[in-house]
Amino acid sequence: MPKRRLILCVIPFLLLTFYSTGFSKTDLPEEKQTTLGLYMTALEAFSKWHVDPNSVNILDVRTRAEYVFVGHAPMAVNIPILFFKNEFDKEKNKPLMPLNENFVAEVKKKFKETDTILVMCRSGGRSAYAVNLLAETGFKKVYSIVDGFEGDKLDIEGSYYKGKRLVNGWKNSGAPWTYQLDSELLYLP
């Protein structure tokens, strides 16, 4: 009986410790860290929005093409933080993506600095960048969705799916997503 009591006392403590720690700065790669230190997974973000859709906002900072052709959360407002440029960086093996100079101004048209905003990109890097820009201008309750819309890459040697974004993310979590467009949510400068 004493062992059972000990187990019953220890388990709630361990669960509380696990859930109260959440994501800390040390758990995330540097490019996914923010100055506000507010993070959640895509599934947590959907749950938070689902509980209070009138007070919680989802902001998708991917390019309009990603939003339209890869899919998006049905309630997500699209305001790209970066744009694709018709130039390619051969060293980095990726397209050049300059900053949307109107990003903060466009966000301020849609949201107040006191609003709760959950920011999503493809996999967590651009959302952290967006959170930092918004924090610099006075936004306080801006969370980075650390696994983004598509999630992280699968890293299993020999797998046909190695390198594909199948680990976590909004699209892989069971949260709702769509290709259907709503002109009120789509970025149309």
What would the pLDDT profile of 178-189 be if each residue is shown by its tens digit?
999 999 999 998
**What total number of domains does the chain contain?**
1
pLDDT at 166: 86
Q: State the maximum Cα–Cα separation within the chain, in Å, rounded to a whole number.
A: 70
- Six-digit token string for 38: 């507010």
50 domain residue, yes or no: yes
Task: List, for residues 97-111, the tens digit of each pLDDT value.
Answer: 999 999 999 999 999
- Decide if 107 contacts 100 (C-beta within 8 A): no
Indicate whether 182 belongs to any domain: no
Q: Which CATH number is 110's domain given? A: 3.40.250.10
Q: Where are the alpha helices (DSSP H) in the chain?
A: 2-21, 42-51, 64-69, 103-110, 125-136, 170-173
pLDDT of residue 3: 54
pLDDT at 43: 96
Is residue 21 pLDDT above 90, yes or no? no
14 pLDDT above the threshold of 50:
no
Q: What is the pLDDT of residue 56?
A: 98
Q: Which helix (H) or strand (E) holds 88?
A: strand 88-89
Q: Rounded mean pLDDT of 61-81?
A: 98
> What is the span of the domain harbouring residue 156?
22-173
Measured CA to CA, the distance from residue 28 to residue 14 in angstroms comes to 22
Statement: residue 78 has pLDDT above 60: yes
Whole-angstrom CA distances from 58 to 52, 88, 144, 185 are 12, 30, 10, 10
Helices 103-110 and 125-136, packing angle to 10 deg: 80
Give the tens place of pLDDT for each residue, 124-149: 999 999 999 999 999 999 999 999 99
Averaged pLDDT, 2-28: 47
Q: Flag whether 8 is in a domain.
A: no
Looking at per-residue confidence, does 7 or 164 come out higher? Answer: 164
> In terms of C-beta distances under 8 Å and separation of at least 24 residues, what long-range contacts does 96-100 make, across chains too?
97/63
The secondary element (H helix, E strand) that includes residue 13 is helix 2-21
Which sequence positions are flagged as catalytic? 121
User: What pLDDT is stored for residue 2 in this prediction?
Assistant: 55
CA distances from 28 to 24, 25, 82, 128, 156 (A): 7, 6, 22, 11, 20
Q: Which of 149, 118, 107, 94 is nearest to 38 (CA)?
A: 118
| Average pLDDT of the chain, as a whole number | 88
186 domain-assigned: no
Amino acid identity, position 151: G
Alpha carbon of 146 to those of 37, 94, 103, 169: distances in Å? 11, 22, 20, 8
Q: Is 60 exceeded by the pLDDT of residue 47?
A: yes
Average pLDDT, stretch 62-89? 95
Share of the chain above pLDDT 90, in %: 74
What 3-state class would DSSP assign to 126?
helix
Confidence category of residue 114, pLDDT binned at 50, 70, 90: very high
Better pLDDT: 156 or 4: 156
